[in-house]
Amino acid sequence: MSKMTPKTRAQAAFNFEKTDIVPYDIPIEPEVEERLNEHYGGSAWEKMLQKHFVNVAFPSEMEFVNETCFKDEYGCVWDVRALPPHLLEVPLNEPSLKGYDFDRLQKTILGMFHEDSARSIIEENQDKFVFGYVGSSLFETSWKLRGFENALVDSILHSAFYEELLDRIMELQLAMIDRVCGLPIDAVFLGDDWGDQRGILLGPDRWRRFLKPRFKKLFDHIHQAGKMVMMHSCGNVFDVIPDALEIGLDILESLQPEAMDVYEIKKRYGKNLRLWGGLGTQQVLPFGTTDDVRHEIRRLISEMGSGGGYILAPAKPLMQEVPTENAIAAIEEFSQR
């Protein structure tokens, strides 16, 4: 096998082909990076890792209301005193779009995209697999605009409004997809947390009613542009994986092992669905021993990587809860592949 670049390795894996090593991605939060720098005596440890993927993304507009809160481009006010930020105020206090200007919002968001910067990033990373990151998608944007509980109530008591809201969000997402697909990217990355630890937040039936047909339109639009579809979703989404495959999902990302049996997903769907993630950031990384971390990474490579179609990654970035010794173990195991 000729020497692979990060991009050709990722492409081969996504084509379910054998690769020299299993491609990987290991995002790390700044606090953990600082501890790794201290352990290694500098940032040279970063050269141990190969970077396979690059994102070009829509930036977020933050207007600070006071020292602890900011307003985003959607008109949502967030409290940043804790992580993740907490939603304090929403622009749609009633189940109505009256007074909310989606056309202005779309113009604002499209105008925020820095195409020249994106092209420069792509040009500088021709040996990487490039994603166009569109950001929070249909469900997440609906509850950000209405508030989480209100959005769930809307899906039951105000269903006509909720469908209208999702349609306007979908129109915005289609325009954002067009913008990133005008660049020489390889795939479009959408983010929408459909699940919690127990299952689908809307419930599978309402997910199929409200989200499935609209995501099909988004996925079809991306495929028509010749790009792959990657979907980030935290939580337990096991019940709707067959539906996601049916409407054209190419890559499912996050794969929280505390919420789903990732090995069972590989067994059932791994011949058709590319999988990304699976290294637990709720149990193994923060609370396991270094041997636990090493063992799980090796198992993921062996079982999830079998037959291709897999990207080794933690389900979330290495967060501040991860002990330094476990972060070191992860870095060493990833870098040896």
In tens, the pLDDT along 251-294 reads: 999 999 999 999 999 999 999 999 999 999 999 999 999 999 99
> φ, ψ for residue 182 (rounded to 5)?
-75, -5
Q: Are 305 and 312 in contact (CB under 8 A)?
A: yes
Looking at every residue in the chain, the average pLDDT score rounds to 96
Give the per-residue SS3 of the chain.
CCCCCHHHHHHHHHCCCCCCCCCECCCECHHHHHHHHHHHCCCHHHHHCCCCEEEEECCCCCEECCCCEEECCCCCEEECCCCCCEEEECCCCCCCCCCCCHHHHHHHHHHHCCHHHHHHHHHHCCCCEEEEEEEECHHHHHHHHHCHHHHHHHHHHCHHHHHHHHHHHHHHHHHHHHHHHCCCCCEEEEECCCECCCCECCCHHHHHHHHHHHHHHHHHHHHHCCCEEEEECCCCCHHHHHHHHHCCCCEEEECCCCCCCHHHHHHHHCCCCEEEEEECCCCHHHHCCHHHHHHHHHHHHHHHCCCCCEEEEECCCECCCCCHHHHHHHHHHHHCC
> Looking at the predicted structure, is the pLDDT value of residue 92 above 70?
yes
Token couple for 220: 């079809």
> Looking at the predicted structure, is the pLDDT value of residue 1 above 90?
no
Other CB atoms within 10 Å distance of the CB of residue 298: 13
pLDDT level of residue 337 (50, 70, 90 thresholds): low
Q: Each residue of 44-82: pLDDT tens digit?
A: 999 999 999 999 999 988 899 999 999 999 999 999 998
Residue with the two structure tokens 């209208």: 164
Number of alpha carbons in the 13 Å side-chain half-sphere of residue 209: 11
pTM for this model (two decimals): 0.95
The CA angle 317-321-327, to the nearest 5 degrees, is 60
Percentage of the chain exceeding pLDDT 70:
99
Q: Each residue of 211-221: pLDDT tens digit?
A: 999 999 999 99
Q: CA–CA distance from 106 to each of 74, 139, 176 (Å)?
A: 10, 17, 8
Other CB atoms within 10 Å distance of the CB of residue 221: 18
Other CB atoms within 10 Å distance of the CB of residue 6: 18
What domains does the chain contain, in order, with CATH numbers? 6-61+93-335 (3.20.20.210)
Token couple for 36: 């790794």
Residue 134 identity (one-letter amino acid): V
Beta bridge partners of 78: 70, 87
Sign, Cα dihedral of 171, 174, 194, 237: positive
Q: Each residue of 171-201: pLDDT tens digit?
A: 999 999 999 999 999 999 999 999 999 999 9
Q: Are 254 and 196 in contact (CB under 8 A)?
A: no
> Looking at the predicted structure, is the pLDDT value of residue 154 above 50?
yes
* 203 class by beta-carbon count within 10 Å (0-12 exposed, 13-18 middle, 19+ buried): middle
Token couple for 33: 């990076």
pLDDT level of residue 84 (50, 70, 90 thresholds): confident
Q: Are 2 and 238 in contact (CB under 8 A)?
A: no
